[in-house]
Amino acid sequence: MMNIDIFPDATTVAQEAASFIATEARATVAERGRFVMAVSGGKTPWMMLRALASEKVPWENMHIFQVDERIASTGSADRNLTHLQENLLSHVPLKAEQIYAMPVNEANLETAAQKYAHLIESITGYPIFFDLVHLGLGADGHTASLIPEDGVLKVIDRDVAITGIYQHHQRMTLTYPALNRSKKILWVVTGAEKTEAFAHLLNRDLQIPGSLIAQDHATLFADRAAQGHLNIEHWKRSPLRIGIASDHGGFELKKELITRLQYAGYLVTDFGAPSLIPEDDYPDYVIPLAQAVGAGRVMRGIAICGSGVGATVCANKVKGARAALIENHFAAKQGVEDDHINILCLGGRTMGLEVTWDLVQTYLQSNFSHADRHLRRLHKVDAIV
């Protein structure tokens, strides 16, 4: 699980990130004689690099690469390299050749990307292996220059690739394989506009590119603005894994519930529908959800159709699923405590969002009592052939 720390503001995040990098650099140099890292761009990262200049760092043993770069002229304010040089190179005893710039001004960008990969390999060996990679998170969920819906997201046979045009520029970027091989990954996430993407990242929601970055060796520093109303402590306590599914009759309700569940700190898997399809069939989504609940891949399920009846009938045909159509708080609580239901079924056309959300919270906050009388009754139900 990713380590997460929340700090008051972006300045503190930058300072703490700098301290983290310096600590990793000293330890790695003591062990291996060098420290190889890759850095991303952004306002807080430039603050981080300035703060790093004040830390005790073995600069003579540092090798600094770029995570990504815009295709722009040398010295342009659009270039990450420009800010990297201004905020670090001018303030520390680091030689210019210890910063390895992406060759984005070459005529053949594909060849340039391959050349940069070979340059990294000449320092780290093959395959590319960074001691630390620093990443940011865009409001749209991109990280590095791994951009939503860009072909670069599917590149798995190269460590450096070229993107399409994004915000007026093509870019050169490290790809998922190169990033995920790193020994340590340091996320720096600041600003209220990042809260939604932050929630998706925590929940490994595959609709954002950042979710495909490995989390088992990652640390994330964020400010309170980025945290917003996210329940980080809940997420740290190994949150309940929730699966949710709906057809067209509950599609809009499902979208709203996913957002609220993620903000509440739950890990949510969406079994579909992936988009509003007026003629779709609820079994296509409810059956995979019920199978996942029955197999224990998710701990609780929420199934929605127009009335909730069809989803209930469907889910209860799957071994291990115990589904109930719930329309009041008493049933939502007792259904879990006494009857051990594990799939809450709802009518997307029969209840509003606020009532539904109250029922969902009651359902998720209730636990099976394991009382003898309830176990006896459930055993009788399980015995039905």
If asked whether residues 220 and 265 sit together in one domain, one would say no
The CATH number linked to 121 is: 3.40.50.1360
If asked whether residues 298 and 337 sit together in one domain, one would say yes
If asked whether residues 106 and 145 sit together in one domain, one would say yes
The CATH number linked to 257 is: 3.40.1400.10
Name the residue range of residue 307's domain: 239-382
pLDDT 10s digits, 299-331: 899 999 999 999 999 999 999 999 999 999 999
- CA dihedral (285, 287, 289, 292) in degrees, to 10, reads -150
pLDDT 10s digits, 211-223: 888 887 899 999 9
Q: At 238, is the pLDDT very low, low, confident or very high (cuts 50, 70, 90)?
A: low
Q: At 70, is the pLDDT very low, low, confident or very high (cuts 50, 70, 90)?
A: very high
If asked whether residues 228 and 266 sit together in one domain, one would say no
If asked whether residues 228 and 195 sit together in one domain, one would say yes
Q: What does pTM read for this prediction?
A: 0.66
Backbone angles phi, psi at 244, to 5 degrees: -140, 145
Let me know: does 59 contact 32? Beta carbons within 8 Å.
no
Question: Looking at residue 206, what is its pLDDT?
Answer: 61
How far apart CA 199 and CA 302 sit, in angstroms, is 19
How far apart CA 351 and CA 242 sit, in angstroms, is 21
Question: Which of 235, 270, 289 is the C-terminal boundary of a domain?
Answer: 235
| Domain count across the chain | 2
Let me know: does 188 contact 5? Beta carbons within 8 Å.
no
If asked whether residues 189 and 245 sit together in one domain, one would say no
Question: What does 192-223 look like in DSSP terms, one character per residue?
Answer: GGGHHHHHHHHTT-TTSGGGGS--TTEEEEEE
Does pLDDT of 157 surpass 70? yes
If asked whether residues 377 and 297 sit together in one domain, one would say yes
If asked whether residues 265 and 376 sit together in one domain, one would say yes
Question: Which of 235, 264, 299 is the C-terminal boundary of a domain?
Answer: 235
How far apart CA 27 and CA 35 sit, in angstroms, is 9
Question: Which of 235, 269, 297 is the C-terminal boundary of a domain?
Answer: 235
If asked whether residues 323 and 345 sit together in one domain, one would say yes
